[in-house]
Amino acid sequence: MGGDVGIGIVGYGMMGRAHSYGYTVAPVMRALRNHPRLRVISGRDREKVAHAAGAYGIPSWVDDWRELVRRPDVDIVDICTPPGTHAEIAIAAAAAGKAVICEKPLAVSYREAASALDAAGKARILNAVGFNYRRLPAVSLMKRMIGEGAVGEVRLFRATWLSDEFADSTIPFDWRFDRSMGGTTIADLGSHLIDLATWMAGPIAAVSGQSETFVRERSGRLVDVDDASAALVRFDSGARGVLEVARVAVRRPCDFTIEVNGDRGTLVFEYARLNELLYGEGGDRSELYGMRRIRAEQQSHPYARDWWPIGQGVGYGSSFVNHLGDLLDRWPDGPWEPDFAQGAAVQAVCEAIERAAAESRWVEVSEIKRS
């Protein structure tokens, strides 16, 4: 067995809670090679961060993340603040020699993401981005099946993320409506889809895009974040794709779907049924034409042995347990994945879609990386 790994969490909001949960539950569910020790959490509001520290079982708190980053008992700085703060914190943590786990998206621009990647490379620290959905058992199984040839050669990748988070025009302005702090909806929701797309179907070469902001003012302030966007995608491999993200889809809570069509089969994942995978196999007997519903909890499936007996299912929280558990198991030698290089590559695609939408043209992803 390994030793203790000191964790400092920056931010006590929804992701500060989710990551605290992940570190706490991971050693309960699986035999980790190292012991995560939640040491400190930071937040600007002293009362709220003190409350969060108590609720999440973290023994100390600070009101300035710089203090957390400097602490000798912190090995991993886990960034759970808005995207506009990520690069600065990640760069400071790298300079202090800490490993960094950063929530998605890695930054609000490719330039910032690349600077975080550069800092991590120069400091030679372990780094990871919070694309937790890779670690949902059914999504992991989907990736594995594609790799094993279950759909043949990938031709089409289709993904949507529909939410009603911004549907109510009376929701007051906060950081999510400020592009420099929250990034676009393309980056917020789309980064997950782009990560899954590139993980399953390889790098994206070029995109087109369209974006719209339907509610342009909140609390008297201009909103410069898209409410909904869509992109056509061309992969390096020649495969084609369609991505759609929306935060104004009424009565759609957090509905995301990914579908891959290969030359021999189809796989579909729907978040609303997150323990299942639909599989249509072209070679099936013709009288079985259709899709079979795989229960992604069978002992041979990814992560199944870490969880409950088949039929009990897992939920959103398990993705954080699986993600953080995997990273802890690879401490201190790595490799960690998805890492900042993958986070920056996703950011380049996000920015390419933003530019394609703004300029009504196809944009090569390499154009973003060059500029």
Ligand X SMILES: NC(=O)c1ccc[n+]([C@@H]2O[C@H](COP(=O)([O-])OP(=O)(O)OC[C@H]3O[C@@H](n4cnc5c(N)ncnc54)[C@H](O)[C@@H]3O)[C@@H](O)[C@H]2O)c1
Which of 316, 317, 297, 294 lies closest to 307, judged by CA?
A: 297
Asked whether position 78 contacts ligand X by CB under 6 A, the answer is: no
The structure tokens listed for 364 are: 């090569």
User: Which residue in this structure is represented by tokens 């300035």?
Assistant: 64
Q: Which is nearer to ligand X, 49 or 230 (CB)?
A: 49
Asked whether position 83 contacts ligand X by CB under 6 A, the answer is: yes
Sheet holding 60-62, edge to edge: 60-62, 35-42, 4-10, 76-79, 99-102, 127-129
CB-based closest residue to ligand X: 13
The contact mask relative to ligand X for 33-62 (x = CB under 6 A, - = no) is ----------xx------------------
**Three-state DSSP class for 299?**
coil
- Residues 270 and 266: their CA atoms lie apart, in Å, by 13
Q: List the one residue from 6, 82, 241, 343 that touches ligand X (CB under 6 A).
A: 82
Segment interacting with ligand X, rule: CB under 6 A, options 80-88, 91-99, 148-156, 307-315: 80-88
The helix-helix angle for 46-56 and 14-29 (nearest 10°) equals: 20
Q: Which is nearer to ligand X, 48 or 111 (CB)?
A: 48
The distance of closest approach from Cβ of residue 19 to ligand X in the complex, given in angstroms and rounded to an integer, is: 9
- Residues 328 and 199: their CA atoms lie apart, in Å, by 21
Asked whether position 256 contacts ligand X by CB under 6 A, the answer is: no
* Burial of 291 per CB tally in 10 Å (0-12, 13-18, 19+): middle
Q: Which is nearer to ligand X, 12 or 157 (CB)?
A: 12
Asked whether position 14 contacts ligand X by CB under 6 A, the answer is: yes
Asked whether position 20 contacts ligand X by CB under 6 A, the answer is: no
Segment interacting with ligand X, rule: CB under 6 A, options 9-17, 142-150, 162-170, 302-310: 9-17
Which residue ranges make up the site for ligand X (CB under 6 A)? 11-16, 43-44, 80-83, 85, 103-104, 130, 132, 175, 188
